[in-house]
Amino acid sequence: KQEVTQIPAALSVPEGENLVLNCSFTDSAIYNLQWFRQDPGKGLTSLLLIQSSQREQTSGRLNASLDKSSGRSTLYIAASQPGDSATYLCAVKLGGGSNYKLTFGKGTLLTVNP
Amino acid sequence: DAGVIQSPRHEVTEMGQEVTLRCKPISGHNSLFWYRQTMMRGLELLIYFNNNVPIDDSGMPEDRFSAKMPNASFSTLKIQPSEPRDSAVYFCASSLGDPTEAFFGQGTRLTVV
């Protein structure tokens, strides 16, 4: 059974700092990995999607990497801002007949202090 | 489009009562997902509909939970009878098939006392 773990559970940093969020998964036979942002009282918003054949994806100040063989992904946020404060979740998608399922981590609660 | 619309946003009910959560997916989307989010277990898929047909309900925790999708623009998740351990945030999401392209509603926060 695929398990997804995110460390740390919570992170507090001063504004302007670069930071890394971690995601690990137990079964490397994934189809892709996705990073989401969740604001309080809101649904999930997709940030980055990395296919299993890719090593990284970038969007603005965000960079996500994927090391499928070791079962790890990182989300790098450059020059953090208070507006980045949110919970960040990663999710993996299996292929084949279960390609409608995403397995989520529990998230990292990020607080960026002004 | 207004996105995925869920109602109510908040629900407080007493143990033993019936609870019905509602979802209106994005028009044209053929896939609908119900998720539950708790601190202990994170976000879990409860049931997946494709073209209004339940494809996988293996995530539904107990027979107390049921879901329907009578048409392409409406789905319900019902809990009867509700229990305190059902307290969670329930999300509905819709897509054109791929779950990685799903749009999420704002969720319903359910509290069972």
Residues A100, B42: C-beta atoms closer than 8 Å:
no
Which of A34, A101, A105 has the CB atom closest to B42's CB atom? A105
E strands, chain B, are: 5-7, 10-13, 19-24, 31-38, 42-50, 53-56, 65-71, 74-79, 88-95, 103-104, 108-112
Query: Is B58 part of the contact surface with chain A (CB cutoff 8 Å)?
Result: no
Cβ(A68)–Cβ(A20) under 8 Å? no
Question: Is a pLDDT exceeding 90 seen at residue A81?
Answer: yes
CA–CA–CA angle B98, B101, B107 (5° rounding):
110
Query: Is B106 part of the contact surface with chain A (CB cutoff 8 Å)?
Result: yes
Smallest CA-to-CA distance from A76 within A32, A13, A4 is with: A13
For the residues B25-29, what does the mean pLDDT come to? 96
Instruction: Decide the pairing of beta strands B10-13 and B108-112.
Output: parallel
Q: How far apart are CA A36 and CA A90, in angstroms?
A: 6
pLDDT of residue A41: 86
Query: Is A101 part of the contact surface with chain B (CB cutoff 8 Å)?
Result: yes
* Percent over 70 (pLDDT), chain B: 99
C-alpha dist (Å) from residue A39 to A6, A70, B63:
17, 30, 32
> What band does A97 get if pLDDT is binned at 50, 70 and 90?
low
Give the tens place of pLDDT for each residue, A12-60.
999 999 999 999 999 988 999 999 999 998 899 999 999 999 999 999 9
pLDDT of residue A100: 85
The residues pairing with A33 across neighbouring beta strands, listed in sequence order, are A50, A92
C-alpha dist (Å) from residue A38 to A63, A66, A108, B80, B105:
17, 21, 10, 29, 11
Query: Is A37 part of the contact surface with chain B (CB cutoff 8 Å)?
Result: no
Q: How far apart are CA A44 and CA A89, in angstroms?
A: 9
C-alpha dist (Å) from residue B84 to A75, B15, B79, B89:
35, 6, 12, 13
pLDDT of residue A65: 97
CB atoms within 10 A of CB B101: 15
Smallest CA-to-CA distance from A81 within A10, A16, A12 is with: A16
Q: Which chain B residues contact residue A41 at CB under 8 A? A: 106-107
Q: Which residue from B minimizes the CA distance to A49?
A: B100
Give the tens place of pLDDT for each residue, B60-112.
999 999 999 999 999 999 999 999 999 999 999 999 988 888 999 999 999 99
Query: Is B96 part of the contact surface with chain A (CB cutoff 8 Å)?
Result: no
